Amino acid sequence: MQSDIERVLFDAPAIHKRLNEMATQISADYADRELTVIAILTGTLMFMSDLLRRIPLPLKLDCLSVASYHGKTQTSGEVIFKQPGVPDVGGRDVLILDDILDTGHTLAAVRKKLETAKPRSIRVCVLLSKRKQRAREVDADYFGFEIDDDFIVGYGLDFMERYRNLPYIGVLRKELLEQPNQ
């Protein structure tokens, strides 16, 4: 697995240091409110569990399972919700957690779906935000790191469902992206 990584962008100590800062900010912003966190599976698993354990506030947690990639590195633009219905977030202060903001299709679709339940507020928190022109207008209220438009894996992020268990975030070697059906 290690040899598939072109370079490490953020090692475990760098991630954890940044999570401390993000958690402090979120805890201060929501100090007098009850947060409802909606995490988008599967890529947020590590991020969600490490971030939320640093937020000492009462909160509710729900997860949404969403697919848009179909195993490729280019998004199809079509966002598929793997469960019917909308989480019950009416009147609540919602914080959507996602691993990475790329084209914006996923977060725009999730946000739109949650808005139909009439929450009191919605904010978006991502670990990574790619510096690029997005297909959909969506901004993160909180983000861990801004990165170039490379394909990255690790700490929850996958390529063809692999590499999620790497403890760091790294750029995948380009030639691996080009191999069909591994």
- CB of residue 26 to ligand IMP, shortest distance in Å: 19
E strands, the chain, are: 5-10, 35-41, 59-67, 80-81, 93-101, 121-130, 142-147, 152-153, 169-172
Q: Compare residues 105 and 113 and give the one whose CB is closer to ligand IMP.
A: 105
Number of residues that bind Mg ion (CB under 5 A): 2
3-class DSSP state for residue 1?
Answer: coil
Q: In the numeric block, which tokens belong to residue 145?
A: 């790191």
Exposed, middle or buried: residue 13 (CB in 10 Å: 0-12, 13-18, 19+)?
exposed
- CB of residue 103 to ligand IMP, shortest distance in Å: 3
Q: Compare residues 24 and 49 and give the one whose CB is closer to ligand IMP.
A: 49
The packing angle between helices 12-29 and 45-52, to 10°, is 60
Q: Compare residues 98 and 158 and give the one whose CB is closer to Mg ion.
A: 158
- CB of residue 46 to Mg ion, shortest distance in Å: 13
- CB of residue 104 to ligand IMP, shortest distance in Å: 5
| Residue 102 designated active-site | yes
Q: Compare residues 57 and 160 and give the one whose CB is closer to ligand IMP.
A: 160
Residue 75 binding partner per list ligand IMP, Mg ion, none, with a CB distance cut-off of 5 to 8 Å that depends on partner kind:
ligand IMP
Residue 170 binding partner per list ligand IMP, Mg ion, none, with a CB distance cut-off of 5 to 8 Å that depends on partner kind:
none
Exposed, middle or buried: residue 38 (CB in 10 Å: 0-12, 13-18, 19+)?
buried
- DSSP 8-class letter at 133: -
Q: How many residues does the chain have?
A: 182
Q: Which of 93, 98, 102, 158 is catalytic?
A: 102
- For residue 129, which amino acid is it? S
> Which residues of the shown chain bind ligand IMP in the complex (CB under 6 A)?
43, 68-69, 75, 98-106, 151-153, 157
CB 27 within 8 A of CB 95: no
Residue 119 binding partner per list Mg ion, ligand IMP, none, with a CB distance cut-off of 5 to 8 Å that depends on partner kind:
none
Residues with a catalytic annotation lie at 102
What residue ranges bind Mg ion (CB under 5 A)? 43, 158
